[in-house]
Amino acid sequence: MDKKRVGVILIAALALAGLTGCDSNVTGEVLGRGEALNMSQQALSAGEIEYLKGYYGDGCLNRADDGTERWSLQVKGDALDPSARLAVVQGNEDCKLLLDEVMVGDVAHVPDAAILLEGTYKTESIAFFQHDDVGEETVFYANVKIDPADFSADFTVSFAYSADLEDAVAVTQEANLEVQQASFHGVEVAAPDYELSFDELDIGTSGGYVQIATGAIKLVDAAVEGQKYAVWDHDLPEGALDTFHAVDTLWGALTGKATASTAGAFSIAVDEFDLIDKLMAGPDLKRSIVVQNLSTEHVSAYQVFTITFSNLDEAVVETPAELISALADATIEKIYLHEGGLTVDGDDGDYEGQGKEAQTVYGDLTVTGNNNTFSGFTLVGDIVDNGSD
């Protein structure tokens, strides 16, 4: 068993996403569109994000490189604003785009320094202030990335934001992806021998559930390549991927896709793994990849990967008993109350965590039972105690 690790974007709660973009482009150019993702449990008090704005930096063909040539992307509005446009020469991967202003309603909000747009989210969220109040009161926290970052096609500027510090967006952390691998050889046919790479994969969780999944899982470094692959969810009969006969039988019931493998490598887009809205807190989110090598005599061999997507330091709880159990587990750092809240209706419960610095509970607690005690954790939410001491 081989344990891999991948950067995961941790986001406390997803409220909505807005998308708009440009409709046409000039030959040789690719166009940007804006995407605003509210990752907070509350809306911005200042209003809704309407525009992302910035300027062209170094390396942008046909553009001034002194910061004087600006761009704008509309992310909200019924009518398309023709003046809001961001265009880059296709393939101009050295072009540097910087974001320095976000319009919330008709009020400009700015970071303390312009943000370079890159292909992944930053490792820390970025504070935004009203334009005349930089460095004072933070209005919201945000993070931003661009995809594809090499401008090989029309691209998206994804702007994730949160109204409160506790839900600060896009804080990158290492999370486990456990990989189990097996090979099944046919008669005188070698099985593919790829390795998995998660370098291009970003997963964003919200309250323990996957809400953002971008990029791809790459299969690389194969001396023996495959011609087709299939991705299956892990809801399979026991033993379905354990023997050559079982894999071969299951393969026959599905239609494999061409790997388009060249130089011992190919990619599988993360969309094929159907991760959105799936629970990633805990060990139960699993997917399998099967790669087929088919000989000219139509004899098959297979390579199988089973991936467990897990945040083992998180838990989602639905009952008071589950909350007590999670608080008692020193390996769990973040506990999310299902659908944002939990009613404690029993009596004499001891809800003791591992310490306020060690564990955080997200959501609202409503207490209707009697003689319950709560200690040893930080609560991000409200507690309403309708019981008695």
pLDDT, tens digit, for every residue of 236-254?
Answer: 777 778 889 989 988 988 8
| Weakest-pLDDT range from 8-12, 326-330, 375-379 | 8-12
* CA–CA separation, 88 and 31 (whole Å): 7
Please tell me the predicted confidence (pLDDT) of residue 21.
43
* CA–CA separation, 193 and 303 (whole Å): 7
- 365-374 as b/e, with b when 16 or more CB fall inside 10 Å? bebebeebeb
Residues 371, 388 contacting (CB under 8 angstroms)? yes
User: What percentage of the chain carries pLDDT values higher than 70?
Assistant: 85
Residues 267, 200 contacting (CB under 8 angstroms)? yes
Grouping H, G, I as helix, E, B as strand and the rest as coil, residue 140 is: strand
The CB density around residue 70, as the number of other CB atoms within 10 Å, is: 14
Q: Tell me the per-residue pLDDT of 124-173, one tens digit each, with 9 for 90 and over.
A: 778 899 988 776 788 888 888 898 999 999 999 989 887 765 444 543 34
pTM comes to 0.59
Residues 58, 67 contacting (CB under 8 angstroms)? no
